[in-house]
Amino acid sequence: MPDVRQQRPTADEYAAFYAGYVSQVPDGDVVEALIGGAEIMAALLHDVDEEAGNRAYAPGKWTLKEVLLHCADAERIFAYRALRIARGDTTLLPGWDENAYAPKSGATARTMGSLLDEMESVRDATVTLFQGFPEEAWARIGNANGQPISVRALAWICAGHLLHHLQVVQDRYLALRGQ
């Protein structure tokens, strides 16, 4: 099965919006990239204090805590879509508005530790889900938010979405520490 996990999805397997996330993932086994992303997250955020977690890098932007919970929310949705499609469910899956989720998430009332624990648990579940898919499931195509999407693409999107946000965190949020 490792071969199917190394096949980067083609552009017709996902909406153009996701191309940036897919491109973030290094070549190789996407499940290993999912595991590696969790390790990067833990190393980057393990010592971030509550003050930094409650800070946004600019007015109108999410706090670091909101970004972290957004990553967990998005991954849950992507994994749910992958599960449905992998099992042959042809139901049209709805889109979601991440900007509507953030203010209702309660992220700022939580600790950085609880948010990291949640994201680690979500990522562990995502890894287990993708590890369990039979080879033929990876090529199945469904429809999410009115666009075709494959199980394979959803794995790469999960991996790349977190990597994208970790880069933003490093460049824009953690650069503010001590200021």
Alpha-carbon distance of 179 to 173, in angstroms, equals: 11
> Is 2-176 CATH 1.20.120.450?
yes
More confident: 179 or 129: 129
Helix/strand/coil (H/E/C) assignment for every residue in the chain: CHHHHCCCCCHHHCCHHHHHHHHHCCCCCHHHHHHHHHHHHHHHHCCCCHHHHCCECCCCCCEHHHHHHHHHHHHHHHHHHHHHHHCCCCCCECCCCHHHHHHHCCHHHCCHHHHHHHHHHHHHHHHHHHHHCCHHHHHCEEEECCEEEEHHHHHHHHHHHHHHHHHHHHHHHHHHCCC
The confidence score (pLDDT) of residue 93 equals 97
What's the pLDDT tens digit per position in 140-174?
Answer: 999 999 999 999 999 999 999 999 999 999 999 99
The confidence score (pLDDT) of residue 2 equals 59
Q: Structural domain boundaries of the chain?
A: 2-176
The confidence score (pLDDT) of residue 48 equals 96
Mean pLDDT of 33-49: 97
70 with 162: CB under 8 angstroms? no
123 has a pLDDT exceeding 90: yes
pLDDT, the chain, mean: 96
Q: Which of 66, 26, 27 is nearest to 163 (CA)?
A: 26
Alpha-carbon distance of 146 to 119, in angstroms, equals: 27
Provide the CB-side half-sphere exposure for 22 (13 A, CA).
21
Please state, as a whole number, how many other Cβ atoms lie within 10 Å of the Cβ of residue 107. Answer: 25
- pLDDT band for position 13 (50/70/90)? very high
Alpha-carbon distance of 20 to 28, in angstroms, equals: 17
What's the pLDDT tens digit per position in 52-68?
Answer: 999 999 999 999 999 99
- pLDDT band for position 17 (50/70/90)? very high
The confidence score (pLDDT) of residue 177 equals 65
How far is Cα of residue 72 from the mean position of the Cα atoms in its chain? Answer: 7
116 with 68: CB under 8 angstroms? yes
The confidence score (pLDDT) of residue 178 equals 56
